[in-house]
Structure 1
Amino acid sequence: MAISDTWLTQQLSQRQLSITKFADYLWILDARGVAYLPACDWLIVSDLHLEKGSYLSSYANPLPNLDSRATLLRLDKIIRDYNPRRVISLGDSFHDKHSMSRMIEEDRIYLCDLVSRVEEWFWVEGNHDPDLPDGIPGTPCFEVLLGDAVFRHEPQQADVKAQIIGHFHPKTRTAISRRRFTGKCFTHNDGLFIMPAFGQFTGGLDIDEDVMLSLLPKKARHTFMMYDDILFKV
């Protein structure tokens, strides 16, 4: 853990962090798209979708193949700020099974170095990446347990544990002083916490769509929208 009381107070005053409670833990929500559990010294990130740009380019989409480097640079800065004991990447870290064959060697080395600098790194399997690519350090797993909570990529409806998931890429909108804002978001109720997608080219599903409302009805949810590295509670 590298954060200090001074740093935390400054970030909170600038609305770059918010604090919420879930599964009997206090969570620090960072406007850059990660969550931090100070009680465990764990940093949570979801849906990196590394090499999505090169995947789309192979289907004639006019996108630059720079998303992996941009995603890793952002994550590197966050990890330097928090210096966590453990990072949990909640699935869809790699966009498809051929991601590493398309990643340039410089980015592959950067990724491996980033993972190796953290004491523990858990790669939760996602629907895009059920298998961890060869040669990538860290621990592949289906889920990670923490007391009465479980970290996994997609929800399991019958599970009685509190679930922290990714997969849905939640986003929302709000109006402040007659200005309209749209952005990715963290959203949760007492039993389900959905992380925003971190990757550079990741879109989003509005939390007022039917599939999201079936998971998190409006009256029960708490939502924190990210916009320009600021968090709005909506």
Structure 2
Amino acid sequence: MSGRPEQLSVNGVSLVADISGALLWPERRLAAVADLHFEKGSAFAERGQFLPPYDTAVTLDKLEALLARHDVKRLICLGDSFHDQGAAARLPDQITVRLQGLIARYDWIWIAGNHDPAPPQNLGGSIAAEWTEGALTFRHEAEPQAMAGEVSGHFHPKAAVRVRNKRITAPCFVTDGRKLILPAFGAFTGGLNVLDPAIAGLLGRSFQVMLLGRKQVFAFPRKALCK
């Protein structure tokens, strides 16, 4: 997937909202992705609710493509990388090998999430509750009283706009310049409208979104959004 990204600034740091849903910090050769939810399909299958079984492969393909396109040294996965604590054990062998090989090439950081409070250690990478780098702190879920510079995931934000009398909904980044919430990177992850109080209540009134289009990322102010 390639397309025109969107520039943004959080706590004075220049960042890039990639069309894949990843956040790029070119100056630090850093990328961040949120909510991969590996093995969500197999978790639902165990409960008799069938999703397409290839969600992990689709997400891994997307992640490999992202890292091939950009000069990245450090990758931060912002929690809920695994859909549950048993997800790593359900990974097909070939996916495990691919993932281990990919992780070995980067300074890979797993942030603990609510779905995966103890990310697996057998795949490689480092595990942390949160990660601070420069003026930014990366964690899974935004904290209401957090200082400026927080980057998080968890909510799977999406936004709706009306274009030529047609309502368009898509995953998005959302920021007020102090905090940033990333869209879910994983397949079949759904989303929550940014106007929901659970998200809007964490941000200043004048937040904006970066909507993931088919070929580029589009920026919209809050006043342009609809429920």
TM-score (ref. length: structure 1): 0.89
SS at match of 1:109: helix
Match of 1:105 in 2: 93
Q: 1:69 aligns with which of 44, 51, 57?
A: 57
Which one-letter code corresponds to 1:163 in the other structure? E
Task: Please name the residue that 1:89 is paired with.
Answer: 77
- 1:70-219 to 2 correspondence within 5 Å? 70-118=58-106, 120-217=107-204, 219=205
Checking the alignment, whether the CA contact within 8 Å between 1:122 and 1:139 is kept in structure 2 is: yes
1:17 equivalent to 2:16? Answer: no
Q: Distance in 1 between matches of 2:199 and 2:145?
A: 17
Superposed CA deviations along residues 183-208 of structure 1, whole A, max 9, x for unmatched, are 00000013210000001011101001
Offset of residue 45 of structure 1: 0.5
Percentage identity across aligned positions? 31
Structure 1 residue 157 displacement after superposition: 2.7
Q: Does the 8 Å CA contact 1:46/1:92 hold for their aligned counterparts? A: yes
Distance 1:53 1:229, change over 3 A: farther
Give the Å deviation of 1:156: 2.4
CA RMSD between the two structures: 1.4
Match among 21, 41, 56 for residue 33 of structure 1: 21
SS in 1 for 2:167: strand
TM-score, L = length of structure 2: 0.92
Indicate yes or no: 2:213 matched with 1:227. Answer: yes
Note if contact 1:25-1:39 (Cα within 8 Å) is conserved in structure 2: no
Structure 1, residues 124-172: CA drift from partner, whole Å, max 9, x if none? 1101111121311100001111233211001223332421000011001
Identify the range of structure 1 (100-109 vs 157-166) with the bigger mean alpha-carbon deviation: 157-166
- The residue type equivalent to 1:195 in the other structure is L
Aligned length: 219
1:216 positional shift: 2.1
- 5+ residue gaps in structure 1? 1-10
Cα distance in 2 for residues equivalent to 1:83 and 1:115: 15
